[in-house]
Amino acid sequence: MVRHTSFVDLVAGIRRLNLDLGQLQLAIAAAECGSFRRAADSLSITQSTLSRSIQLLEHSIGIVIFERSRAGVTATPAGIDFLRIARSILEQMDTVVARAKPEDREEYGRLVIGFSTSLTAGHLRATLLEYCSRFPQATLRILERSRSRLATALRNGMVDLYVAAGDSFDITSRSTPLWSERILAALPQDHSLAPQDALSWTDLNNQIILMSQYDSGRDLEALLNGRLITSMEGPRIEHRDVSRGEIQNLVSMGLGITLVLESDVGANSSGLVYRELRYGAEPSRVGFSAVWRDDNENPALANFLKLLAERYPSSSLA
């Protein structure tokens, strides 16, 4: 099985089969995106070029990497094994030139973490910094994606673990709650609500609320819809195909207001004020969870889970 193939053996196999490393990169992009079309768009190539390349790769190695459907692509069990090692090969190829004295280096593993929150401040940033401090020789890669794309990447073995808002995750994965963050309204400094120390959800009625297409915007929108009864006086939600940071720039231009989490405040734009949203007398909060696959035997993941258990002892990581 591919799972038990060593790095040296697989590289030799790639040479023997005359495979192009670019084919591996295309397959990994398709696994991360969960779609040939989205992967091709992200790489600025045609979908037919990407699809043909992956078909040739599958033919060369003798396994089906992806199951195709109208909804996209999902890695097969054999494909997950292959893609994990293919990703390892590409990462090692990237670092081999920099290894001036490889015999002096101990292999501490590599870890791929996905996220859909901000790294500017907050718990995730602090956790990653502590991990890097404890395991300075480890290779850490981080990917920012929407929650749906992170779930696809996890199923296809492209990330070892991801951190996202909410608590409803794929039943094939394990998850545990970590921390929670307050929800804040970001307003222009001259907004009529700015003088208030805190806001209630009903204060958002009749407001234009700008929301990013990307997580955690969708979680905040779901909470917004749950807190406010739909009426003619309710807020008008406008979706924009830009990042959360760019949404705040639009707010500073006076185009509306938006909802953010505490970790987003470190990336604030000038001209904004932030007001806590309260539900009754209590601050409104959103919880974050870590999600991973139980069958992932990566020792670097095990080390990261131990760190999470230490930092968040109430989590069920055992």
Using a pLDDT cut of 90, give the percent of the chain over it: 24
Q: Is residue 167 part of a domain?
A: no
Mean pLDDT of 102-131: 74
Q: Which domain holds residue 74?
A: 1-105
pLDDT score recorded for residue 133 = 92
Q: Is residue 69 part of a domain?
A: yes
Query: Which CATH number goes with the domain that contains 31?
Result: 1.10.10.10
Residues 100 and 3 in one domain: yes
pLDDT score recorded for residue 61 = 85
**Please, where are the H alpha helices in the chain?**
7-16, 21-33, 36-43, 47-61, 77-96, 123-134, 147-155, 217-227, 244-252, 299-311
Q: Is pLDDT of 42 > 70?
A: yes
Mean pLDDT of 193-213: 89
Q: If you average pLDDT over every residue of the chain, what do you get? A: 80
Q: Is pLDDT of 292 > 90?
A: yes
Residue identified by tokens 């905040």 is: 220
Q: Is residue 43 part of a domain?
A: yes
Using a pLDDT cut of 70, give the percent of the chain over it: 77
Query: Which CATH number goes with the domain that contains 271?
Result: 3.40.190.10
Q: Is residue 89 part of a domain?
A: yes
Mean pLDDT of 128-144: 89
Q: Is residue 140 part of a domain?
A: no
Residues 187 and 87 in one domain: no
CB-CB contact of 26 with 50 (8 Å) = yes
CA 6 to chain centre: 29
Burial (CB count <10 Å: 0-12, 13-18, 19+), residue 18 = exposed
Q: Is pLDDT of 6 > 90?
A: no
Q: Is residue 84 part of a domain?
A: yes
Confidence of residue 155 (pLDDT cuts 50, 70, 90): confident
Q: DSSP letter at 53?
A: H
Mean pLDDT of 30-35: 88
Which residue did the predictor score with more confidence, 288 or 5?
288
Confidence of residue 118 (pLDDT cuts 50, 70, 90): low
**Domain end point (choices 52, 87, 105):** 105
Q: Which residues pair with 208 in a beta bridge?
A: 236
| Amino acid at the residue 39 | A
pLDDT score recorded for residue 146 = 76
Those residues whose C-beta lies under 8 Å from the C-beta of residue 100, and which sit 6 or more positions away, are none
Could you tell me the pTM of the whole model?
A: 0.64
Angle between helices 47-61 and 36-43 (to 10 degrees): 110
Mean pLDDT of 171-200: 90
pLDDT score recorded for residue 128 = 92
Confidence of residue 197 (pLDDT cuts 50, 70, 90): very high
Q: Which two tokens stand for residue 229?
A: 């009864």
Q: Is residue 8 part of a domain?
A: yes
Closest CA to 35 of 190, 182, 185, 146: 146
Alpha carbons 163 and 126: distance in angstroms, whole number:
13
Q: Is residue 143 part of a domain?
A: no
Specify the number of domains making up the chain. Answer: 2
